[in-house]
Amino acid sequence: MARFIFITGGVVSSLGKGLMAAALGALLQARGYRVRIRKFDPYLNVDPGTMSPYQHGEVYVTDDGAETDLDLGHYERFTGVASRRSDNVTAGRIYQSIIARERRGDYLGATVQVIPHVTDAIKAFATADTDDVDFVLCEIGGTVGDIESLPFIEAVRQLRNDLGRGMSVSIHVTLVPYIAAAGELKTKPTQHSVRELASLGVQPDVLVCRCEHPLPESERRKIALFCNVPKEAVIPALDAPSIYAVPLQYHAEGLDAQVIHAFGLPPGREPDLARWVDIVDRLKSPEGSVTVGVVGKYVGLPDAYKSLNEALIHGGIANRVRVDIRWIDAELFEGDASEIVPRLEPLHAILVPGAFGERGAEGKIAAIRFARERRVPYLGICFGMQMACVETARNLAGIPAASSTEFGPTSEPVVGMIHEWMSAEGLQQREEGGDLGGTMRLGAYPAVLAGNSHAAAIYGTTEISERHRHRYEVNTAYRERLEAAGLAFTGMSPDGRLPEIVERPDHPWFIGVQFHPELKSKPFAPHPLFASFIAAAIRQSRLV
């Protein structure tokens, strides 16, 4: 039977609960345990799929087509365990399921209440599909004291009683702020946060204390005394030089050992952390550097491209170079061509990521043209592939009106909305004006690559599976004219209807993909497209 680790946060948000959960999962794996990590979000959206990237950061997509919190990306990148739809649930999804059951009459006339109906639903999500693991780590979003998180904390309280002694551990992540004027770290916020959590019936077993300065032994003893935990269970968490150094840092502070101890399990063997040591070594001692420009729409918030940022770093790890990422607002290139050369010429590679809507599209097309004409390595992801096709159509194929129906009616729909496609569940159909949430081509889909293509050489196979998140596709009615203009369609859906990869054989490195390869990249297993893309950037750096 799986043991459960419940992770809460206090004092302020953005303390890194998700990163801590991912690092702890990696440490438990290194000790030989099987883990699964879950995220419970208190907001009322059914999922983050319709939320602005500026509100919530990126939407992370799983193989089974769930639009989830970006923390699931951390979980996958650190553990290598593919997340599932059942690994992220929101208050909105909980209430939606309960209301649907009430409307069907499933409650047999009972009054539907937060306790027991909402808390029972949360517990059911927590315990589902856990027979194949040793530990389930459940991160509770938000901050203790938030009104919306109360049902989740109550569910944790009940579930700890249901599971019984020795089957669950509570970890509370808090802030120990440094007051510069006083020259002191202050433990009172942590004491108040733990008191708030304990008043809700959950006594933490381990405290993870984020701090900017080393936590003195005297302060650890004070926290332990007032928060009713052993001193050894007060784990300092200072900022790390890289997120991939966090597992090593937490292990050095004894986090995994304290969790094992809190469960009453024998210490067992020391974890094998060799791959994390190697990753950190590659990051600390690069053999060079390259500069990659990301010409995007949401560059004001790095979390909007979190997986992309990490995948580029992974490409650098694979090639033992530092990747300097320059985030460039695509709108800079619209109506002012004078910005293009000074901003793009210093780059060793250019990437145009996924996006929605017309804003910034013309700027991205201008960046793509620059990469094509100047022979700079180019990777287009989702929208970036679509705009590469529009750029070729306009400037090489004699179709100056080429556009996407996403931007409105057009006489030359090189990119158009997909209304039906085949998935693992059968034929999927969509109509204009329908719901936006959960209606895209989502999740893992197979693709077949041309055997003589650059993409097949990079992957080392002609059959791949990658994750999608989009509702527009390149129109195959234009394939012949685009290929005549030098843009080869080298990856297609198995039925030959949907383009998955395009590339330019006349270019050193020019690839567009309809899917999101960044979602499957990991520091210990960099995605082959990103490893090859950074290798191309290295070659370009020697030419500049």
Pairwise pLDDT comparison (59 vs 421), residue with the higher score: 59
Pick the catalytic residue: 251, 468, 470, 516?
Answer: 516
Give me the amino acid identity at 67.
E
Q: How is residue 117 annotated by DSSP?
A: I
Looking at the structure, tell me whether residues 301 and 259 fall in a common domain. Answer: no
Could you tell me if residue 59 is inside a domain? yes
Task: Answer yes or no: 382 catalytic.
Answer: yes
Q: How far is CA 132 from CA 39, 136, 187, in A?
A: 18, 10, 40
CATH classification of the domain holding 243? 3.40.50.300
Mean pLDDT, the chain, whole residue set: 92
Q: Is the pLDDT of residue 533 over 60?
A: yes
Reported confidence tier of residue 431, pLDDT bands at 50, 70, 90: low
Predicted confidence (pLDDT) per residue in 93-113, tens digit: 999 999 999 999 999 989 999
Task: In whole angstroms, give the CA distance from residue 323 to residue 471.
Answer: 31
Reported confidence tier of residue 510, pLDDT bands at 50, 70, 90: very high
Residue 309 domain boundaries: 286-415+473-541
Looking at the structure, tell me whether residues 394 and 528 fall in a common domain. Answer: yes
Pick the catalytic residue: 227, 382, 389, 527?
Answer: 382
Give me the amino acid identity at 324.
D
Looking at the structure, tell me whether residues 334 and 379 fall in a common domain. Answer: yes
The pair of three-digit structure tokens given for residue 493, joined into one six-digit string: 């859906």
Looking at the structure, tell me whether residues 266 and 341 fall in a common domain. Answer: no
Task: In whole angstroms, give the CA distance from residue 35 to residue 450.
Answer: 37
Percent of the residues in the chain that have a pLDDT greater than 70, as a whole number: 96
Q: How far is CA 17 from CA 171, 175, 265, in A?
A: 10, 11, 24
Looking at the structure, tell me whether residues 304 and 208 fall in a common domain. Answer: no
Looking at the structure, tell me whether residues 93 and 187 fall in a common domain. Answer: yes
Predicted confidence (pLDDT) per residue in 381-398, tens digit: 999 999 999 999 999 999
Task: Say what the pLDDT of residue 421 is.
Answer: 47
Could you tell me if residue 216 is inside a domain? yes
Could you tell me if residue 461 is inside a domain? no
Looking at the structure, tell me whether residues 208 and 309 fall in a common domain. Answer: no
Pick the catalytic residue: 56, 211, 518, 527?
Answer: 518
Sign of CA dihedral 488, 490, 495, 497: negative
Last residue of a domain, one of 215, 246, 279: 279
* b (16+ CB within 10 A) / e for 126-156: bbeebeebbbbbbbbbbbbbeeebbbbbbbb
Q: Is the pLDDT of residue 466 over 90?
A: yes
Task: Answer yes or no: 518 catalytic.
Answer: yes
Last residue of a domain, one of 213, 244, 279: 279
Q: Is the pLDDT of residue 420 over 70?
A: no
Could you tell me if residue 423 is inside a domain? no
Looking at the structure, tell me whether residues 160 and 295 fall in a common domain. Answer: no
Looking at the structure, tell me whether residues 150 and 174 fall in a common domain. Answer: yes
Q: Is the pLDDT of residue 433 over 70?
A: no
Could you tell me if residue 421 is inside a domain? no
CATH classification of the domain holding 361? 3.40.50.880
Looking at the structure, tell me whether residues 395 and 268 fall in a common domain. Answer: no
- For residue 236, what are the β-bridge partners? 209
Q: Is the pLDDT of residue 512 over 80?
A: yes
Could you tell me if residue 465 is inside a domain? no
DSSP 3-state assignment of 325? strand
Looking at the structure, tell me whether residues 266 and 306 fall in a common domain. Answer: no
Residue 95 phi, psi dihedral angles, 5° rounding: -65, -35
Max CA separation in the chain (angstroms) = 75
Task: Say what the pLDDT of residue 544 is.
Answer: 60
CA dihedral 230, 233, 237, 243 (to 10 degrees): 180
Structural domains in the chain (count): 2
The pair of three-digit structure tokens given for residue 208, joined into one six-digit string: 């993870």
Residue 189 and residue 236 in contact, taking contact as beta carbons nearer than 8 Å: no
Predicted confidence (pLDDT) per residue in 171-219, tens digit: 999 999 989 888 889 999 999 999 999 999 999 999 999 999 999 999 9
Task: In whole angstroms, give the CA distance from residue 104 to residue 313.
Answer: 49
Task: Say what the pLDDT of residue 523 is.
Answer: 97
Pairwise pLDDT comparison (123 vs 338), residue with the higher score: 123
Predicted confidence (pLDDT) per residue in 241-253, tens digit: 999 999 999 999 9
Task: Say what the pLDDT of residue 183 is.
Answer: 83
Residue 514 and residue 382 in contact, taking contact as beta carbons nearer than 8 Å: yes
Q: Is the pLDDT of residue 489 over 50?
A: yes
Could you tell me if residue 257 is inside a domain? yes
Last residue of a domain, one of 223, 254, 279: 279
CA dihedral 20, 275, 443, 512 (to 10 degrees): 120
Looking at the structure, tell me whether residues 259 and 385 fall in a common domain. Answer: no
Reported confidence tier of residue 429, pLDDT bands at 50, 70, 90: low
Reported confidence tier of residue 427, pLDDT bands at 50, 70, 90: low
Q: Is the pLDDT of residue 428 over 60?
A: no
Predicted confidence (pLDDT) per residue in 34-87, tens digit: 999 999 999 998 888 888 777 778 999 999 999 999 999 999 999 999 999 999
Q: Given the DSSP bridges, would you call strands 35-41 and 88-90 parallel, antiparallel or unpaired? A: parallel
Could you tell me if residue 121 is inside a domain? yes
Task: In whole angstroms, give the CA distance from residue 481 to residue 193.
Answer: 64
The pair of three-digit structure tokens given for residue 489, joined into one six-digit string: 């369609």
Reported confidence tier of residue 418, pLDDT bands at 50, 70, 90: confident
177-181, 255-259, 422-426: which has the minimum mean pLDDT? 422-426
Reported confidence tier of residue 417, pLDDT bands at 50, 70, 90: confident
